[in-house]
Structure 1
Amino acid sequence: MASVADRIVLSFAPSPSDGDPWSGVDTEWIADELCGDTYQQYLRRAHSGPVAVGEEWDEFVSCGCATPQDVVLRVERVEGGTAVGDETTLDVHPRNDTEAVPQ
């Protein structure tokens, strides 16, 4: 049985599309949604079990007025175990290929 990770660092980016995928995307809004208690609980339950660096999860967040924004979450780091569990802290950051995700 896999041990539950203490912390998993995730990065997010809009789902690939034509043109600049960040065009018109409010990353602060998306980050706030992804870091909310309800969404964090959903992610821990939806992705419970073994996890590996490089895994990608297709998700979406509500941008208000029933407008979803598709995002891809990528596992950047797994600390203190090898599985997502109820006690795992999910640390979510916008992905920018020119910047490192904070330690």
Structure 2
Amino acid sequence: MTNRAHSETQEAATRVVVSYPQDLSDWGRFQLEKPSFRAFLRKTRDAARAGDTWEEFVGVGCCGNTLDVPLRVERIEGGDRIGDETEIEYEVREACGVDGSWRVQSEGGPKRA
């Protein structure tokens, strides 16, 4: 994962629309919606371009394997730089086989490292 993208302008985006897959669990969606996760995105990304994909760790709670979610930048309003005031908004896109929900933490969950 590349944490910092190269910024082409000095102007901060007013809004960045990011999509997540439809098959992301309710718990995963809850994690993305937290103000702390939006703040994390603003701190770890300098810039965004439509079509960028960010593999982001969402976690699984108190136990289990990690859950990485592919977030895709759909639109940017204003400049391409992400600043402290940039609004992060989410949309849902087509499913992509994300192994989420309680099964990540169970014996029946995904068997990949």
One fold, TM greater than 0.5? yes
What secondary structure is seen at the aligned counterpart in 2 of 1:42?
helix
Give structure 1 stretches of 5+ with no counterpart.
15-21, 98-103
1:46 match: 44
TM-score w.r.t. length of structure 1: 0.73
Maintained 8 Å contact 1:2/1:50: no
- Could you list the structure 1 runs, at least 4 aligned residues long, displaced by more than 4 angstroms after superposition: none
Report Cα offsets for 1:41-64 as digits up to 9, x if no partner: 1110111x2321000111121221
* Alignment size in residue pairs: 86
Q: 1:61 aligns with which of 58, 63, 69?
A: 58
Q: How many percent of aligned residue pairs carry the same amino acid?
A: 35
Structure number with larger C-alpha Rg: 2
Aligned counterparts of 1:93 and 1:33: Cα–Cα separation in 2: 14
Aligned counterparts of 1:90 and 1:6: Cα–Cα separation in 2: 9
Give structure 2 stretches of 5+ with no counterpart.
1-8, 96-113
1:3 equivalenced with 2:2 (yes/no) = no
Larger % of strand: which?
1
2:6 match: none
CA offset at residue 94 of structure 1? 2.7
CA offset at residue 66 of structure 1? 3.2
Aligned counterparts of 1:5 and 1:66: Cα–Cα separation in 2: 36
TM-score w.r.t. length of structure 2: 0.67
Aligned counterparts of 2:90 and 2:63: Cα–Cα separation in 1: 23
CA offset at residue 82 of structure 1? 1.4
Higher RCO (C-alpha 8 Å, min separation 6):
1
